[in-house]
Structure 1
Amino acid sequence: MGVSALAEGGSGTSYPSHREPDGSIGIKLLEASSNRKNDPRAYLYIVDHINPGTRVSRRFEIRNTSSSSQRIKLYPGAAEIRHNTFVPAADRHANELGSWISIDRPELIAPPNSRIQLNAKISIPKSASEGERYGAIWAEVASPSVKPGSAGNIQMINRVGIRVYLDIGPGGDPPSDFRIEQLTPGRTEVGMPVVKATVNNTGERALDLGGQMWLSDGPGGLNAGPFRAQVGTTLAPGYSAPVMVMLDDRLPDGPWQVKLMLESGRVHHTVTGTLTFPEKPATWGLPALLDSFPLWALVIVGSLAAVAVAFFLVLAVRRLRRRRRVAQ
């Protein structure tokens, strides 16, 4: 049996480190790449764009908060984005990261209540193909092996990891961006108000979304928030997913002025609008009326308008020709 944990980012202007409970092991990245010093996501995960034939290294730390020594194995492994969640791949060698990443101490004994600094080297061959790979650097602890056939012959394996988002290719880092397409207010089965934000990854890199929501100008002039968006949503390029914000069950239905700020690393977007929560549990209300019309929607409307104008122009020309023929 095994338990795996990958660090997750928080919302706001900073991302917390992966904190381990007392009596366990933890792992923490200690540095970001030089071109991502202003990217809070890069201090939690290894997020990089590397040219083929390049070598880089990253320092990280292992913590043992237990009162006994722990034998820890360290190794890289592949990961994937499945159902908008970053998860370990069933096969740790599913991509090349297992052969590209090496740990300076693949196995060690961590004394009680200790911290140990380690180094991960990433070597990209010149023949590497373009594209983003997902993986993790794992720290694994296994319970003592038991003899087959003995009572309770189950070995527990616990591991914690640092996510790796590694894009390979010439030139600079591909663009990262997203679009907040819609806000929908609703209520859970127990009547808790919730807002669902539909987000589309319009860039070329995976995103880890977090953020905050504020409500203002509610009934009686009420204001509420900030409320944190639920973390854990990882969007692959070209994909859409809902980001949920759970609110206080004491809030009245509205109407409310709403402000939502979402971010992934250095990319931030904010939408504002007006919404009203439905009265009944387990229902969704009408989408919020957003204050700003999205650029993509303007492009679509403009295109449709141009097609309509062209259609009526063609129709008018045909009618004019018919009249001329009748007059002749």
Structure 2
Amino acid sequence: MARPHALPRLGALVLLILGAIGAPAHADHDPRGRRADPPERSTIGIRLLEASSNRRDDPRARLYIVDHINPGTTISRRFEVRNGSDTTRAIRVYAGGAEIRKNAFTPLPERVTGEPASWITVDRPRLAVPPRSSVTLKATISIPENATEGERYGVLLAETSSEGPSPQKNLRMISRVGIRLYLDIGPGGDRPSDFEIERLTPGRTETGMPVVKATVRNTGERALDFEGRMWLSDGPGGLSAGPFPAQVGTTVAPGGTAPVMVVLDERLPDGPWGVKLELRSGQVERTVTGTLTFPAKPSSWGLPAFLDEAPSWLLPAGAVTALALPVALLVRARRRSAARDARQAGPPAAGGDGPDAPDAGT
């Protein structure tokens, strides 16, 4: 299967960028929470070792610190820092802030302090990790009594630097890896998480690769990170294909909408195809099915898929339309009946434009 290509003229294609925070593989685990070797033996890694008791079945909580915490409460989480190189590494561990910017989880610069970084302490903020080994640490999160309600975003970072400036550019090389934090602050229980898949739009990249853009709306009160799979069936000649993984790296804030992209095999014909998409964020999973046809031309979008079940946001509008049409027909019929009765009764009495007189032109 060919590698995915960018879509410069098809809109925003969300790609997994191998970075310290955005790529779970760089944090020493894959998107499903399984242990994986670092991409390079010279890198450092970091991974969470425990989740809250009520989130043990939540795959997202095995990757990130995802919790609801009441003001005045303190929790702790164990995590591991790994040195995959052949030399001892001096590693600094600290907490920083983050925000969701353009549907991406984005750590803030280190100089930006405040919540939630000021609430987090690490038992060993500086340590030397021997070659090809790991150290277990503990982060303590203490929420002040006067903390306001709402979800906060942060990151727990492990950082190492080269021994001296780079001889080529006179620069010191710094490597960082991190664990995301999604902290919901407030009394009571966890805020609800939910989302809808509003539409599926088939397209082709510049090089003709078939791609499907799923438009996803966060209808809950917590930020969401997505993973998923797509299948095609009942294609030309009875062909089936898949599953194809959704490209990870999309984070959607409450109330936000974002595209989630699925790039498919370049050998697939245009269709029509039956399509099935499963998307998941944490313990919330949604599935849509329908029919779509890919456009023939590269660098173009086709018509949105015909979904087997309309999104719920369309139902109120559909219900209003269905109700308004018979009401309008009834009003029109009554006006015609009133006009016919008036013509049969003859002209109105002199000087009288009575209330039952028909409008001119009816």
**TM-score after normalising by structure 1:** 0.91
Q: Does residue 67 in structure 1 map to residue 86 in structure 2?
A: yes
Distance 1:230 1:14 in 2: 13
Give the aligned partner of residue 5 of structure 2. none
Q: Shift of the alpha carbon at 1:320?
A: 7.2
Unmatched 5+ residue regions in structure 1?
none
Structure 1 segment 1-328 matched on structure 2, within 5 A: 5-6=20-21, 8=23, 14-17=32-35, 19-20=37-38, 21-91=40-110, 93-146=112-165, 152-309=169-326, 325-326=356-357
Distance 1:309 1:94 in 2: 60
Distance 1:90 1:152 in 2: 23
Unmatched 5+ residue regions in structure 2?
1-17, 343-354
Query: Could you tell me whether the CA contact under 8 Å between 2:295 and 2:302 is conserved in 1?
Result: yes
Aligned partner of residue 5 in structure 1, secondary structure: coil
Query: Could you tell me whether the CA contact under 8 Å between 2:104 and 2:249 is conserved in 1?
Result: yes
Deviations 1:131-179 (A, max 9, x none): 11111000000112449xx874211111100000111011111111111
Distance 1:96 1:18 in 2: 31
Query: Could you tell me whether the CA contact under 8 Å between 2:165 and 2:173 is conserved in 1?
Result: no
Q: Shift of the alpha carbon at 1:14?
A: 3.1
Higher strand share: 1
Query: Could you tell me whether the CA contact under 8 Å between 1:9 and 1:210 is conserved in 2?
Result: no
Query: Could you tell me whether the CA contact under 8 Å between 2:24 and 2:31 is conserved in 1?
Result: no
Deviations 1:99-133 (A, max 9, x none): 10110000000011111000000000010001111
Deviations 1:170-210 (A, max 9, x none): 11111111110111111100000101111111110000011
Number of aligned residue pairs: 322
Q: Shift of the alpha carbon at 1:293?
A: 1.8
Distance 1:109 1:9 in 2: 23
Change (3 A) 1:8 1:264: farther
Q: Shift of the alpha carbon at 1:58?
A: 0.3
Change (3 A) 1:15 1:320: farther
Q: Shift of the alpha carbon at 1:307?
A: 4.2
Identity rate, percent: 60
Distance 1:128 1:92 in 2: 22
Larger radius of gyration: 2
More moved, 58-67 vs 94-103: 94-103
Aligned CA RMSD, in angstroms, stands at: 2.4
Distance 2:72 2:254 in 1: 25
